[in-house]
Structure 1
């Protein structure tokens, strides 16, 4: 009996480390920061009180995500309609309009890095169904309308790579900004449909501060990129609604753009 508290404590710490990633996924799959966080809180409470539900899996993250989806089965509500978009109707070809299974498979594999087999386990489906749903999701992403994107990134090499990914995904780069002032000026000049912003810019400049200034004159969805997403999604500060990790591949960017187009940013 003396070992039980230690095991519970270790499991609780492992669960806590997983929560930022679960919050990111929940927001993406629901299309709502508020509703996503509500489901995560429920999952966290169950996982901490009954760690054996997660401990059955060798991978804590896999166990927590599987529990998250098990909790949806009796309660439902994970895929309810999202809030009204501020983006024009021609841009409504979005990730939230995919079939729920397709959307979940795409986000689990591309956003969270699970294998197809692990994603199938999380969703309690067979691998053939999982692979088919993922292929359908990738095809659906090709239907996302082309949009104008402002890139805010101070590292020249990274900025050019990001711009190439954006263009190869079928979108237009209206400009690349390395400072807050340049970002605000480019946004006012080009009125982008979406902003892709690094968190930390040159010197004391901040991507988040640049976006806040941009949002004073326009409403535009924003995707933030960072090498450390878990440091942002802590629940203790103002958080961006959409966060992707560096480095990211074209499919992840397409998915992030599609989901961001249906909601407002921070």
Structure 2
């Protein structure tokens, strides 16, 4: 392989790696597990550059390589015994249609088209569309809980609140600042938090989440932000679920359903 071709492959991987890691984290439920699969994918590509199919769009090719690693493992979510949050999530996942979560995440979080999902998963376009619909239907009907929103823009907060309520969840309240968020969480412990990272008084949503999780322990957290680059750095702990503004209703519904299963989001050091 020519040196220029090899260099181009590495550039493509570097550009799309943050998105692969985001997908892997959402798929497995935490950063450590997701990064292990992402690392295995990179190692396979470095060992054999042809593992990355060159006639696909770069991101689709990278996700296809990941999917080959992912499906080859057999058991995707590690067994977790006892009554931990991760163990309960594992039990909830068992009845879901196989491969439906992968299709859902590729469509809603990574915004791949049905034909691209079909390429990644090596299925037909019709099968990809059906898997997405099945995942949404099955996941939204399993878990109901209370949701706290940290968002300083009133219209966005109202929109998110309406989406979450329509899914059957309760809203514990909306906080516009770090201090309000901490106080609200102390008053009513939520099952899930949706948070922006830039708040009304220039305080940090990341700081608010760190404060809350230090008091409550594990809670699933979804960041909805116009500044994803502040979180997708690879240099510190990152959230399992991250949605970029402007978001779609489908993205919020998918992330909320996913996060209600997984609650291993770790504090972010802000």
The correspondence of residues 174-185 of structure 1 with structure 2, limited to 5 A, is: 174-185=172-183
TM-score for both structures, normalised by structure 1 = 0.88
SS at match of 1:175: strand
Partner residue in 1 for 2:32: 34
Partner residue in 2 for 1:243: 242
Deviations 1:96-149 (A, max 9, x none): 752331111111111111111111111111223222222211211330333211
SS at match of 1:106: helix
Equivalent in 212, 215, 222 of residue 214 of structure 1 = 212
SS at match of 2:215: coil
- Asked whether the equivalents of residues 95 and 258 of structure 1 are also in contact (C-alpha less than 8 Å), the reply is no
Give the drift of 1:174: 1.6
SS at match of 1:78: coil
The correspondence of residues 99-248 of structure 1 with structure 2, limited to 5 A, is: 99-219=97-217, 220-248=219-247
- Asked whether the equivalents of residues 240 and 265 of structure 2 are also in contact (C-alpha less than 8 Å), the reply is yes
Query: Would the alpha carbon gap of residues 214 and 82 (structure 1) be closer, same or farther in structure 2, given more than 3 Å must change?
Result: same
Give the drift of 1:9: 1.7
SS at match of 2:149: strand
Query: Would the alpha carbon gap of residues 198 and 102 (structure 1) be closer, same or farther in structure 2, given more than 3 Å must change?
Result: same
TM-score for both structures, normalised by structure 2 = 0.87
- Asked whether the equivalents of residues 152 and 207 of structure 1 are also in contact (C-alpha less than 8 Å), the reply is yes
The correspondence of residues 16-95 of structure 1 with structure 2, limited to 5 A, is: 16-81=14-79, 85-86=84-85
For structure 1, list consecutive stretches of 5 or more residues without a partner in the other structure.
none
Aligned Cα root-mean-square deviation (Å): 2.6
Give the drift of 1:58: 3.8
Cα distance in structure 1, aligned partners of 2:256 and 2:63: 23
Give the drift of 1:95: 5.8
Cα distance in structure 2, aligned partners of 1:96 and 1:204: 42
Moved more, 172-181 or 153-162: 153-162
- Asked whether the equivalents of residues 80 and 87 of structure 2 are also in contact (C-alpha less than 8 Å), the reply is no
- Asked whether the equivalents of residues 86 and 263 of structure 1 are also in contact (C-alpha less than 8 Å), the reply is yes
Deviations 1:6-33 (A, max 9, x none): 2322221121111111111111222232
SS at match of 2:152: coil
Give the drift of 1:231: 4.1
Give the drift of 1:92: 8.6
Query: Would the alpha carbon gap of residues 192 and 31 (structure 1) be closer, same or farther in structure 2, given more than 3 Å must change?
Result: same
- Asked whether the equivalents of residues 31 and 96 of structure 1 are also in contact (C-alpha less than 8 Å), the reply is no
Partner residue in 2 for 1:264: 264
Give the drift of 1:257: 1.9
SS at match of 1:107: helix
Cα distance in structure 2, aligned partners of 1:143 and 1:93: 15
Moved more, 108-117 or 52-61: 52-61
Cα distance in structure 1, aligned partners of 2:224 and 2:61: 26
Partner residue in 1 for 2:254: 255
